Amino acid sequence: MKNTTIAVLSFLWFWANFASNNNHVSAEAGLKPNIMKTFKKTFLVLMAVVAVSLTSCKKDDDGGDGGGAGEGTMTANVSGSGSFTSMEIATVATETTQAGVTTIRVQGSNAEGRAIVLTISPYEGTGTYEISENSVFTFATYSETDVNNPLDTQFWNAPYENSGVVGEIQISEKTDTNIKGTFNFLGKNPDNGSEKSITDGSFNVNFQ
């Protein structure tokens, strides 16, 4: 898309300059001066429109390869805690739209009380979404709960204060019933300052 847009821009730029630098064209073609001015203005407007479309294209439309999670699960590697695979019965995706803003949440937990929650807002189609302090409505959380004491839960959140870019969520495929993608992030525990790196994450989850 980007290359095509650049090519169109170049074409329009050439003709706008041709028309501007060759005033004799109007005389030879039998065009009146006001018609020629309209001709040039039209090209300039088209150039502006194409330029805006180029700069407003999504920053990164690469949604990745979807990862290798089995249907109905989330998987990842968690530093200091080992591999993670959610139970299908405890894994779900939701999609809501309020005031024109669509939010998608994917979450899953396993039998050991470990869980991962991913939130994207606003959701704008397949592609890559950065997890950073500049995009506070797109975030990720890893948690560990003592199954014998549910009140004892530790969270590692991304982003966090002064975190910069600490991960990304890639959406490779989405239908009305299912969503697939990959993710990675560095989470920080707000209570003790510890960090956990969540890598090689992937999900293949059905919508609730």
Q: Return the residue matching tokens 């470990």.
A: 114
For the chain, give every domain's residue range. 2-55, 73-206
Instruction: Count the Cβ atoms, other than its own, within 10 Å of residue 116.
Output: 27
Mean pLDDT lowest among 9-18, 33-42, 113-122: 9-18
Q: Which residues contact 185 (CB under 8 A, 6 or more apart)?
A: 131, 140, 158, 166, 167, 168, 197, 198, 201
pLDDT at 190 over 50: yes
Residue 184: other Cβ atoms inside 10 A: 20
Task: Report the alpha-carbon distance of residue 31 to residue 158 in Å, rounded.
Answer: 63
Q: What six digits make up the tokens of 14? A: 């050439």
pTM: 0.71
Please check the confidence at residue 36 and state whether its pLDDT lies above 60: no
pLDDT band at 144 (very low <50, low <70, confident <90, very high): very high
Tokens of 62: 């690469």
Which range is least confidently modeled, 37-46, 165-174, 183-192?
37-46
Residues above pLDDT 90, as percent of the chain? 65
60 confidence band (pLDDT: 50, 70, 90)? low
Lowest mean pLDDT among 23-27, 42-46, 91-95, 178-182: 42-46
Question: Which residues, 6 or more positions from 53, have their beta carbon under 8 angstroms from its beta carbon?
Answer: 5
- Rounded to an integer, the average pLDDT of 82-88 is 98
Between these two residues, 44 and 203, which has the higher pLDDT value?
Answer: 203
Q: What is the mean pLDDT of the chain?
A: 80
Q: Tell me the Cα Rg of the chain.
A: 25
